[in-house]
Amino acid sequence: MKYRILKALNDADGYISGEQLSESMGVSRTTIWNYISLLRREGYVIRSVTNKGYKLISSPDRLSPEAVSEGYTPSLVGKELVILQETDSTNEEIKRRAAAGAASGLVIAAERQTMGKGRLGRSWESERGGLFFSFLLRTELPPSDVTGITLAAGYAVCLAVREYSGIDARIKWPNDIIVGSKKLCGILTEMSAQPDQTEYIVCGIGINANNKDFPEELREKCTSLAEETGSETDRSRLLGCVLKKLDRVLSSFMVSLCVEDMDHFRKLCVTLGRRIVFVRSKERIEATAVDVGSDGELIARDDSGKEYSINSGEVTVQGIY
């Protein structure tokens, strides 16, 4: 009932009367009033005006499972959703639950991480305001066949951020999401596998949503949705949007992106056409990124015309953090 009232307030264009609410919900006006009081105690600011009714002014910045799952029936990603107030790292939490037998598709989000992890052993700034979550995928495919998942995850997040906020989010190969030249989102994929068989994949996503102040050393390199749009992000709605895209992209194309998605990926990928630097057999190589192959590898050409296929590791892109 509480969420039906909240949805009606959210959907209303202005005020909605107590009478309208009680009629559409089939309960008394006193019941409506009691739920409005409950919502206010939970941090929702709801204005009430005699003869007009109620208007939702603002919602608390808190992840709500009902709001995340609204209008979305997952076929894979998000079949189970757990929201924690705090954990060390959602990737670690998923790994613990995977070891205890958790099913494919589990999503764990946390309001805050005490030991958020980034790629290459770095840490990930995880104070309240950001969106931190991970999902679990189980597959028995050989590890070499699932490398496309990391690309697919970045692509899905990029689509969701664009749809949710309208900003021109782009992909820095393989899966950083950037706006202009600053990082908005990072993805850390980990896997448990035998040489010829994957056991499970954990994909952790950190989106700078309502982060206001970045530490000094990150200020020039990172941005947030709040900074880009000038308004608060409804993180539950954003998470719902991302899960929907992940579910679509990963359920039908578990291993790699389909051709249309791959073409769209290339259009959104800022790395293509730029000068890049990477290391090959301890040698620093400068080249131009020319394409992304069907397995997600970055194809680059140096000035002598020699082609390289890059599968992992750090690639520095000129002009981007």
Residues that bind ligand BTN (CB under 6 A): 89-91, 113, 116-119, 122, 124, 132-134, 176, 186-188, 204-206
Q: Which is nearer to ligand BTN, 18 or 118 (CB)?
A: 118
**Minimum distance from residue 140 beta carbon to ligand BTN (Å):** 24
Residue 93 or 234: the one with the smaller Cβ distance to ligand BTN is 93
**C-alpha–C-alpha distance, residues 178 and 186, integer Å:** 9
Judged by beta carbon, residue 206 or residue 240, the one nearer ligand BTN is: 206
C-alpha separations of 128 from 135, 177, 187 in Å = 20, 20, 18
Nearer to ligand BTN, 108 or 292 (CB): 108
Q: Kindly tell me the burial class for residue 237, based on how many C-beta atoms sit within 10 Å of its own C-beta (0-12, 13-18, 19 or more).
A: middle
Residue with Cβ nearer ligand BTN (205 or 262): 205
Residue 161 CB, shortest distance to ligand BTN, in Å, is 15
- Provide the minimum distance between the beta carbon of 274 and ligand BTN in the complex, in angstroms, as a whole number: 19
Residue nearest to ligand BTN (CB): 186
Measured from the CB of residue 257, what is the shortest distance to ligand BTN in angstroms?
A: 20
Give the per-residue SS3 of 292-318: ECCCCCEEEECCCCCEEEECCCCCEEC
Residue 135 CB, nearest distance to ligand BTN (Å)?
Answer: 10
Nearer to ligand BTN, 56 or 177 (CB): 177
Q: Measured from the CB of residue 87, what is the shortest distance to ligand BTN in angstroms?
A: 9
In the bound state with ligand BTN, the residue whose beta carbon lies nearer, of 218 and 255, is 218
Q: In the complex with ligand BTN, which residue's Cβ is closer, 113 or 147?
A: 113
Q: Which is nearer to ligand BTN, 53 or 105 (CB)?
A: 105
* Residue 14 phi, psi dihedral angles, 5° rounding: 100, -140
Rounded CA Rg of the chain: 22
> How far apart are CB 170 and ligand BTN at their closest, in Å?
15
Nearest approach in angstroms of CB 30 to ligand BTN is: 43
- The distance of closest approach from Cβ of residue 261 to ligand BTN in the complex, given in angstroms and rounded to an integer, is 22
Question: How many Å apart are CA 190 and CA 209, to the nearest integer?
Answer: 23
